[in-house]
C-alpha cells in the first residue's frame, strides 16, 4: 500500500466522525500525489431530503472560481490578445468607475492581483440571461475608489466580474460557454457545472445556514448567488476529482491529460509568483499572485484558494514542487475545523507540511486603547462600527445593508481583543473562525484609515 493509499483509507475511515464533530452535513475530498488520485465523500447533501454524498456529488467551489477566471484570462495572454499591463479600458471601452482616471488606467494585472483599488463587494443581480455580466459591468460607474490602482491589496469580487466580461468580449461568447470550451472540454471534466441548469442533472450538495445565531442549521433557501457574479464564484460547481483535474493541469506545466497545452508553462509559473503582500490577518494567504493565493512558511511553495457561497465552503491547496494537491468541499457547519483536520492530515502525511493554525484570541489579551480604531467603516454591503465601552472592552457591530440584507444577512455584535500590533480579533468564532481585523493607514487625525478583513473597508467620511 502506497502512502497515498494509506491517506485515502484514513479519509474514508475518519471522515464520517469528523463531519459529526464539526457539524458539517457533508463533504467531498480528493487528493493527488505522484500522479495518482484518491477521493471520498460522506454525509448528507441536504438534511431535508436525506440524499447521501458520494465522490461524484457536486459542491459549489465559490471563489476558487477566481483561479479558473484568471486561467481564462491568461490563455488570452498566451494568445497575444491581451497583456497584463493593458488598461482594462483598452478592451472594454465603456468601462467606468466613479474615479475616471482609475477606470482609464487600471490594468488587467491589477485586477488579477486584487490591487485595482475600487470597492469590490458588489452582488447586483442583473438577471439570468447571457447579458447578465455585460449589464453588471455597465452598472459599476458609481463604485468608489478606495485607493489608487496598485497601491495595496483589497479582495475584489467585482474586479473578477470585470475580468469575466473581458473574457466574454475577446472570445465573443458568454462566460459559461468559455469555461466549458476552454477548460472543461480540454481537461475532460465530466462532473462540473457552470450553472444550476447543468448542476441539476447531478447529485448536488445544498448549503446549510442558521436562520438565527442559536438555531440549528437548515438547508439554505436559495442554491446559488446571481449569474452576474459567476466569474467571482457565484455558480460554478463540481465534484472534488474534477477540481483536482484543474489543479493537476497547473501542476503539470499547463498540460491537459492528452498532452495538449492549456496554458504555457511560463504562464503557469508566472501565476504563482507574488504580486502583492497581504496584511497579517492570518486567515488568508501571505501574498497574491495572478489568481492564486500564496502561503509562506511551509518549507515549500503552497498555492491555493478558498471559497464561500450560501452555506458552502471550499478549500484547494497545491504544492507545485511536491506534486501534491488536495480538495475539500463542504456544505455547512464548521468547515474550518474540518479543513484543519482533513487537509492538515493530508499535507502532513504526504509532504511533511504543517498547515498554519487558525488564529485564536490570546488567553490573556493585552488591554487595548481603541482610540485609533474606534469609528464607522463603511462599504456597500455593511457598516462596521468599532467602539470601546467604559470598562475598556472593544466591540464590533456589523450592520448589513442593501444587497446584504436582501441575501439574509442580519446585524451582529461581537467582542474584540488585542491580537497583534494594530490588529484585533473576534472573541467568538463564526463557523469555526475567529476573524482578525487589521487597522491600516492614518486618516490625518490619528485614526486608522482602513479596517482590513481581506478587503479594505474605509473609515466613513475619511
User: Would you name the residues annotated as active-site residues?
Assistant: 63
CA angle 158, 407, 49 (to 5 degrees): 115
- Is residue 394 within a helix (H) or strand (E), and if so which, with residue range? strand 394-400
Contact, 126 vs 101, CB < 8 A? no
In 3D space, the residue among 414, 409, 423 whose CA is nearest the CA of residue 452 turns out to be: 423
Q: How far apart are CA 45 and CA 57, in angstroms?
A: 8
| DSSP state string for 286-352 | SEE-SS-EEE-SSSS-EEEEEEE-SS-EEEEEEETTTTEEEEEEE-SS-HHHHHHHHHHHHHHHHH-
Rounded (10°) angle between helices 335-351 and 3-22: 160
Residues 294, 286: contact at Cβ < 8 Å?
yes
Within 10 angstroms of residue 405's Cβ, the number of other Cβ atoms is 14
Angle at 185 (CA atoms; ends 328, 90), nearest 5 degrees: 95
Residues 255, 261: Cα–Cα separation, whole Å = 5
Amino acid at each position: 500500500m502506497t502512502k497515498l493509499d494509506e491517506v485515502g483509507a484514513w479519509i474514508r475511515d475518519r471522515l464520517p466522525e469528523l463531519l459529526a464533530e464539526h457539524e458539517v452535513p457533508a463533504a467531498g475530498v480528493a487528493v493527488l500525489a505522484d500522479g495518482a488520485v484518491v477521493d471520498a465523500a460522506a454525509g448528507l447533501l441536504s438534511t431535508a431530503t436525506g440524499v447521501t454524498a458520494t465522490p461524484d456529488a457536486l459542491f459549489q467551489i465559490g471563489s476558487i472560481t477566481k483561479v479558473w477566471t484568471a486561467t481564462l484570462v491568461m490563455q488570452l495572454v498566451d494568445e497575444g490578445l491581451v497583456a497584463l499591463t493593458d488598461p482594462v479600458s483598452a478592451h472594454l471601452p465603456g468601462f467606468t468607475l466613479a474615479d475616471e482616471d482609475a477606470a482609464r488606467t487600471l490594468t488587467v494585472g491589477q485586477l488579477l492581483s486584487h490591487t485595482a483599488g475600487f470597492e469590490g463587494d458588489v452582488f447586483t443581480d442583473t438577471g439570468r440571461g447571457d447579458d447578465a455580466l455585460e449589464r453588471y459591468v455597465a452598472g459599476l460607474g458609481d463604485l468608489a475608489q478606495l485607493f489608487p490602482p496598485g497601491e495595496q491589496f483589497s479582495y475584489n469580487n467585482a474586479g473578477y466580474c470585470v475580468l469575466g466580461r473581458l473574457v466574454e468580449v475577446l472570445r465573443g461568447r458568454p462566460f459559461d460557454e468559455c469555461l466549458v470550451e476552454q477548460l472543461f472540454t480540454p481537461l475532460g471534466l465530466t462532473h462540473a457545472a457552470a450553472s444550476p441548469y447543468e448542476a441539476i442533472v447531478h447529485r448536488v450538495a445544498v448549503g446549510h445556514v442558521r436562520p438565527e445565531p442559536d438555531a440549528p442549521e437548515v438547508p439554505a433557501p436559495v442554491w446559488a448567488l446571481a449569474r452576474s457574479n459567476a466569474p467571482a464564484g457565484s455558480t460554478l460547481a463540481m465534484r472534488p476529482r474534477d477540481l483536482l483535474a484543474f489543479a493537476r493541469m497547473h501542476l503539470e506545466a499547463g498540460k491537459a491529460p492528452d498532452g495538449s497545452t492549456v496554458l504555457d508553462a511560463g504562464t503557469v509559473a508566472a501565476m504563482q509568483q507574488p504580486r502583492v503582500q497581504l496584511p497579517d490577518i492570518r486567515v488568508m494567504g501571505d501574498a497574491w499572485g495572478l489568481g492564486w493565493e500564496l502561503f509562506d512558511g511551509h518549507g515549500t511553495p503552497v498555492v491555493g484558494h478558498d471559497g464561500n457561497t450560501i452555506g458552502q465552503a471550499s478549500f484547494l491547496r497545491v504544492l507545485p514542487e511536491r506534486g501534491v494537491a488536495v480538495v475539500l468541499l463542504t456544505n455547512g457547519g464548521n468547515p474550518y475545523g474540518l479543513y484543519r483536520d482533513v487537509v492538515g492530515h493530508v499535507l502532513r502525511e504526504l509532504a511533511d507540511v504543517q498547515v498554519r493554525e487558525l488564529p485564536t484570541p490570546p488567553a490573556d489579551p493585552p488591554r487595548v486603547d481603541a482610540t485609533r480604531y474606534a469609528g464607522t467603516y463603511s462599504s456597500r454591503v455593511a457598516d462596521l462600527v468599532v467602539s470601546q465601552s467604559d470598562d475598556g472592552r472593544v466591540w464590533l457591530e456589523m450592520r448589513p445593508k442593501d444587497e446584504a440584507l436582501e441575501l439574509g444577512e442580519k446585524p451582529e455584535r461581537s467582542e474584540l481583543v488585542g491580537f497583534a500590533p494594530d490588529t484585533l480579533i473576534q472573541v467568538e468564532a463564526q463557523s469555526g473562525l475567529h476573524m482578525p481585523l487589521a487597522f491600516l493607514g492614518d486618516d490625518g487625525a490619528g485614526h486608522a484609515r482602513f479596517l482590513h478583513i481581506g478587503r479594505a473597508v474605509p473609515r466613513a467620511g475619511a
